[in-house]
Amino acid sequence: MPRRALHPCQHPGCPNICEGRYCDAHKMMHPNNDRMNAAERGYGSKWQKARKRFLDRPENFFCLECKKEGVFTRAINKGQVNQYYVEGNHEAIIDTETWEAVQEELKRREDFMRDHNSKRYNYGSDPNPFSGRVFCGECGSRYGRYTWPGRGIHQWQCCNHRVEGKLICRNAFVDQKNLERGFVLAYNEFITDKSRFEGWKKENRSPLKHLRARQLLELSKQEPLTGMVEELAELVVWEVIILGKKEYEFTFMDGSKVKATVE
């Protein structure tokens, strides 16, 4: 039997070619990617045609009471016919655990924005994985990213550095490349520390923590990073505290804190 044709990975911005919907690098970021399509779930072309034939019948499409008066109105049941609530008679779009994990994640982001006095979790269309997550270790303010492409400069600076022309915070400017190198160092130390594994394997955890633990255990089986992977940083980084120009503290999604100093 011939192999399935390769096509681009469906993760935004990924150039990889794969057989399934997502490449190996992004499968763990889409846990429901193996859900059957409509035809595999029994809603194929025959079902679609039968559904259309049924709904196209006048007695099913129009309100019978209105039709007696010569008015043709789309039928909406407002109590004329008994309605029943049935549980578990078809496959859910997502499983219950994933649904509950998403609600927890939304609450976590809401708390994150409140704690850091921010109006949104990340900043617009900025694809940088650190956007909205970098904070000053001296004054606690958010760090913003400033770029001068023509000069090849991409830096982070405390938003409280100058206020109305006055110097307020003296914490250092941070180069984007140094921040990325800091992440690689911190991540490799974090993911290879086997003492954390037992905590990830604990039962009776909330759905979100259970999902995070499963993702981290899967990541721990991979080789340490040799360079920056933006999608991975976006997945595992909670926040970054700037302690100095080349010294940072990364907090990961399981609550672990790892300091990194780049040379």
Q: What is the pLDDT of residues 118-138, one digit of tens each?
A: 877 775 555 788 988 999 999
Query: Is residue 155 scored above 80 in pLDDT?
Result: yes
Give the pLDDT band of residue 177 (cuts 50, 70, 90).
very high
The mean per-residue pLDDT over the stretch 11-27 comes to 80
| pLDDT confidence of residue 1 | 45
The residues spanned by each domain of the chain are: 1-36, 97-261
Say yes or no to pLDDT of 248 above 80.
yes
Separation of alpha carbons 43 and 49, rounded Å: 10
The listed range with the strongest mean pLDDT (4-18, 65-79, 147-161) is 147-161
Q: Is the pLDDT of residue 149 over 90?
A: no
CB contact at 8 A, 241 and 135: yes
* Residues whose CB is less than 8 angstroms from the CB of residue 125 and which lie 6 or more positions away in sequence, other chains included: none
User: What six digits make up the tokens of 11?
Assistant: 């993760």
Max Cα distance, the chain (Å): 84
> Do residues 176 and 154 make contact, with C-beta atoms less than 8 angstroms apart?
yes
**Where residue 247 falls among pLDDT bands split at 50, 70, 90?**
very high
Mean pLDDT of 194-208: 78
pTM above 0.75, yes or no: no
Using CB atoms within 10 A of its CB, is residue 31 exposed (0-12), middle (13-18) or buried (19+)? middle
Contact yes or no for 117/135 (Cβ under 8 A): no
